[in-house]
Structure 1
Amino acid sequence: MEGERRAPRARSCGLPAGGAPAPSPGVDAPLPGRSGPPALPRAEVLDLDEDEDDLEVFSKDASLMDMNSFSPMMPTSPLSMINQVKFEDEPDLKDLFITVDEPESHVTTIETFITYRIITKTSRGEFDSSEFEVRRRYQDFLWLKGKLEEAHPTLIIPPLPEKFIVKGMVERFNDDFIETRRKALHKFLNRIADHPTLTFNEDFKVFLTAQAWELSSHKKQGPGLLSRMGQTVRAVAMSMRGVKSRPEEFMEMNNFIEIFSQKINLIDKISQRIYKEEREYSDEMKEYGPIHVLWSASEEDLVDTLKGVASCIDQCCKATEKRMSGLSEALLPVVHEYVLYSEMLMGVMKRRDQIQAELDSKVEALTYKKADTDLLTEEIGKLEDKVECANNALKADWERWKHNMQNDIKSAFTDMAEENIHYYEQGFQHENRTRGLNEQKIKSGSGSCVPAISTLPFKTSTKKHAILFFFFFSSF
């Protein structure tokens, strides 16, 4: 083997390659008509201070005309649109159920932190009991994530919520912040439990079952500080060296990740802006109810009409609050989770490239080195096995992740569409009731007409969500 690399042999990894079956046609297969990465509008064309201009960038994008799996003649009925984007339910075969609840604050002389109760119920034989209850802090979740990445470098590990959130919520121990983090940690553990490979990780089992002192003892069993520093230095050196020839399928995967990251970050930014604008509109609308009540005290002929308008506004405010709650709980967390996923995917690709770079360096050393060729040949054989296992694991987990991503994003936008439909139905009922009262007053000649509050501004926000939805899925 002078100057050239041996052709890789077929080998068995001995490790589950993501555990996901081959994707069925029409679900995860590449969409027809998309031979390369789609054109993506540059981020700087978005000026979020001009709302209509923001969305016109998306609506005029030529890539939006190619809806891939959607028919170009989209039905006009909202309900028929909802039916198009729903996945069929899969059979429930879970044997591990995890709940994260009851956050509790702890204050010591050194620090203040929050722990969360984790209840695990399982029917698996490898567990000593069918139910466990432990308490964990955020640092323990970070440790688990690190161990999973160490054991499975090319599997897509679910992301953890950020340690600090600077924008919109500065207080770490704010009730809303704690509840948001609790939900994110709950989803993190359940995504691991649903993963066909990660769910059987030994560190994951220890995390769910060991008491605090047992977990601390288990953490100390890992490699020492010097060993970890050496691994980090080698990883950095390999990343600086780079990969000479990345396989074509992983080049396509990397292009997908870059485009996905740009789009999901834009959607997260605009969704947050839409939520902020609607919250401001809702707060302003709440002021009009009391104003109409005070107004009615000085207009004897319009008492009933003005009180009817005030009642309509009050009902619209309640419907709006419910809708805003659905937006903050259903859409925003899902979109932001996949922003974090995009960062995780970049890390997975770097770890895969590091493994291949290590193999390339050994092959290059064998080319120019005459001594110890037998030892290098043996090392190259092991590294080829490692690269093959890493590639197979990533490819299988990649298809599984794409399916879940499409399912989650579509479900989030579908739920939002249903919330919008229900909201408008309620708004129209209240407006029609007030309009009918005004008409009765006019016919009887006992009063004048006062227009009811309109929900028209929210029609624009629904249009924005629809454009964001089609913008995102125009190329995936």
Structure 2
Amino acid sequence: MEGECRAPQARSSGLPAGGGGGESPGVDGPLPGSSGSSALLQAEVLDLDEDEDDLEVFSKDASLMDMNSFSPVMPTSPLSMINQVKFEDEPDLKDLFITVDEPESHVTTIETFITYRIITKTSRGEFDSSEFEVRRRYQDFLWLKERLEEAHPTLIIPPLPEKFIVKGMVERFNDDFIETRRKALHKFLNRIADHPTLTFNEDFKVFLTAQAWELSSHKKQGPGLLSRMGQTVRAVALSMRGVKSRPEEFMEMNNFIEIFSQKINLIDKISQRICKEEREYFDEMKEYGPIHILWSASEEDLADTLKGVASCIDRCCKATEKRMSGLSEALLPVVHEYVLYSEMLMGVMKRRDQIQSELDSKVEALTSKKADTDLLTEEIGKLEDKVECANNALKADWERWKQNMQNDIKSAFTDMAEENIHSYEQCLATWESFLTSQTDLHLEEASEDKS
């Protein structure tokens, strides 16, 4: 919670040495991010990655920091603190550029997995170099997400693409699936880098820069399985009490999340179905043109007309394929990313309720004087600060998330509309040109008959 109370409002205005933009050619546009994965369907799923104890990384110009520095609190060096201060007239310039690229397959006697190259360029003083290069696998991203949730329980952590895919929809480590996941992982890291608080998280820095270290040692620092199970049961009980004492503003927030989740899930399913039906239509239309060419060989009087129809169909196929590409690469990933966001938001609300419930239970104990009064008073004071920090962090991040969501959704649907208009205009112009040529041909033939 300390990190949330000390949330920085902006980053320094420097630019990374040797770097211009943060994304290389071919890197994804708007997506969670997304992930435009087919895993949203209700079907049997296939596990792509197995849990492992080690974190394979390779680094350039980086040295491993002291393991004691793995703290969820904000950076405390003088230059780091300067980065957290934002002056009203200071432009919000980017000082951390991250690119995820070059997926690479690794085959061992035990498993097969994919790693992705992560290049980081920065001008921040707390980094000991201006450029880093590491390789990470999906499980490493999952570890980072979990550490961010532990350190910032009421901040909205960007979602990761699912670990599972629908059986029969995508082959294991299919090129299209790997590329979709790469784009989603790229968006995940850049969402964190652009966040005013998460970007300064120490585990995020280690993820981007560490040369070689084992994840198992850090797992041992957390609670064991039985302890986690006990905490989960207690968290559920506390969160149920937290719902009863949830302030009205958070009740409204929760209602919004429930409605948003229902709508975005429905849009996601319909969009996936439309995409599938359009693909089937496209595959059939591709067979339609060659049939007219074959037909023209046996119809001498209709040969030119039939060949003209085949040419129009071919051009319409190309326009349709481009439109479908825009749908699957632009709209679907954005919509599905916010499906994952809706699930993330529900988890954030539960964690907020749990913190609130801890305070309520102590106040109740003090009222009934079931424990040492002085000790309870001290604990209540600390919990009140914790609740205030949690609430303020969530409210600030909520407004930021809503603005980003509205911009992303609006942009995705606007781009889709423009792409549809352009595609249909191309098809319309193609058929109008064909009709004009046929009309002119008919008039010429009529003129010849009269003469």
Q: Structure 1 residues 370 and 329 mapped into 2: Cα distance closer, same or farther (>3 Å)?
A: closer
Give secondary structure in 1 for the equivalent of 2:103.
strand
1:117 aligned to 2:117?
yes
- The residue number in structure 2 matching 1:311 is 311
Q: Which moved more, 1:129-138 or 1:213-222?
A: 213-222
- The residue number in structure 2 matching 1:264 is 264
| RCO comparison, higher one (Cα < 8 Å, 6+) | 1
Letter in 2 for 1:414: T
Q: Map 1:250-329 onto structure 2 (within 5 A).
A: 250-329=250-329
**What's the CA shift for 1:16?**
3.6
Superposed CA deviations along residues 414-442 of structure 1, whole A, max 9, x for unmatched, are: 11011012112211221122112211221
Q: Structure 1 residues 19 and 256 mapped into 2: Cα distance closer, same or farther (>3 Å)?
A: farther
Do the aligned partners of 1:13 and 1:389 also contact (CA within 8 Å) in 2?
Answer: no
- The residue number in structure 2 matching 1:33 is none
Letter in 2 for 1:393: A
Once residues 274 and 167 of structure 2 are traced to their aligned partners in structure 1, the CA distance between those partners, rounded to angstroms, is: 16
Q: Structure 1 residues 323 and 246 mapped into 2: Cα distance closer, same or farther (>3 Å)?
A: same
Letter in 2 for 1:110: I
**What's the CA shift for 1:240?**
4.7
Q: Structure 1 residues 196 and 258 mapped into 2: Cα distance closer, same or farther (>3 Å)?
A: same
Once residues 247 and 193 of structure 1 are traced to their aligned partners in structure 2, the CA distance between those partners, rounded to angstroms, is: 31
Letter in 2 for 1:216: L
Give secondary structure in 1 for the equivalent of 2:140.
helix
Q: Map 1:1-400 onto structure 2 (within 5 A).
A: 15-16=5-6, 19=9, 93-166=93-166, 169-211=169-211, 213-214=212-213, 216=215, 219-220=218-219, 222-225=221-224, 228=228, 231-369=231-369, 371-400=371-400
Give secondary structure in 2 for the equivalent of 1:300.
coil
Do the aligned partners of 1:272 and 1:332 also contact (CA within 8 Å) in 2?
Answer: yes
**What's the CA shift for 1:279?**
1.3
Once residues 432 and 426 of structure 1 are traced to their aligned partners in structure 2, the CA distance between those partners, rounded to angstroms, is: 10
- Length, aligned pairs only: 365
**What's the CA shift for 1:283?**
1.2
Give secondary structure in 1 for the equivalent of 2:302.
helix
Give secondary structure in 2 for the equivalent of 1:445.
helix
Once residues 8 and 338 of structure 2 are traced to their aligned partners in structure 1, the CA distance between those partners, rounded to angstroms, is: 19
Once residues 305 and 278 of structure 1 are traced to their aligned partners in structure 2, the CA distance between those partners, rounded to angstroms, is: 27
Once residues 435 and 288 of structure 1 are traced to their aligned partners in structure 2, the CA distance between those partners, rounded to angstroms, is: 19
**What's the CA shift for 1:251?**
0.5
Q: Structure 1 residues 238 and 180 mapped into 2: Cα distance closer, same or farther (>3 Å)?
A: same
Q: Structure 1 residues 383 and 221 mapped into 2: Cα distance closer, same or farther (>3 Å)?
A: same
TM-score, scaled relative to structure 2: 0.77
**What's the CA shift for 1:215?**
5.2
Letter in 2 for 1:103: P
Do the aligned partners of 1:132 and 1:209 also contact (CA within 8 Å) in 2?
Answer: yes
Q: Which moved more, 1:257-266 or 1:303-312?
A: 303-312
Give secondary structure in 2 for the equivalent of 1:311.
helix
**What's the CA shift for 1:170?**
4.1
Superposed CA deviations along residues 97-141 of structure 1, whole A, max 9, x for unmatched, are: 111111111111221111111111111111111110100011111
- The residue number in structure 1 matching 2:73 is none
User: Where in structure 2 are there 5+ consecutive unaligned residues?
Assistant: 11-90
Do the aligned partners of 1:154 and 1:390 also contact (CA within 8 Å) in 2?
Answer: yes
**Cα RMSD after superposing both structures:** 2.2
Give secondary structure in 2 for the equivalent of 1:114.
strand
**What's the CA shift for 1:326?**
0.5
**What's the CA shift for 1:336?**
0.4
Once residues 102 and 379 of structure 1 are traced to their aligned partners in structure 2, the CA distance between those partners, rounded to angstroms, is: 50
Once residues 146 and 218 of structure 2 are traced to their aligned partners in structure 1, the CA distance between those partners, rounded to angstroms, is: 11
Q: Which moved more, 1:188-197 or 1:364-373?
A: 364-373
Q: Structure 1 residues 119 and 13 mapped into 2: Cα distance closer, same or farther (>3 Å)?
A: closer
- The residue number in structure 1 matching 2:415 is 415
Q: Which moved more, 1:120-129 or 1:277-286?
A: 277-286
Give secondary structure in 2 for the equivalent of 1:93.
coil
Once residues 18 and 259 of structure 1 are traced to their aligned partners in structure 2, the CA distance between those partners, rounded to angstroms, is: 31
Q: Map 1:382-461 onto structure 2 (within 5 A).
A: 382-445=382-445
**What's the CA shift for 1:216?**
3.3
Q: Structure 1 residues 221 and 201 mapped into 2: Cα distance closer, same or farther (>3 Å)?
A: farther
TM-score, scaled relative to structure 1: 0.73
Percent identical residues:
86
Do the aligned partners of 2:132 and 2:208 also contact (CA within 8 Å) in 1?
Answer: yes
Letter in 1 for 2:319: A
User: Where in structure 1 are there 5+ consecutive unaligned residues?
Assistant: 1-11, 21-90, 448-476
Superposed CA deviations along residues 291-348 of structure 1, whole A, max 9, x for unmatched, are: 1101111111122221111111111101111110010000000000000000000000
Q: Structure 1 residues 220 and 272 mapped into 2: Cα distance closer, same or farther (>3 Å)?
A: closer
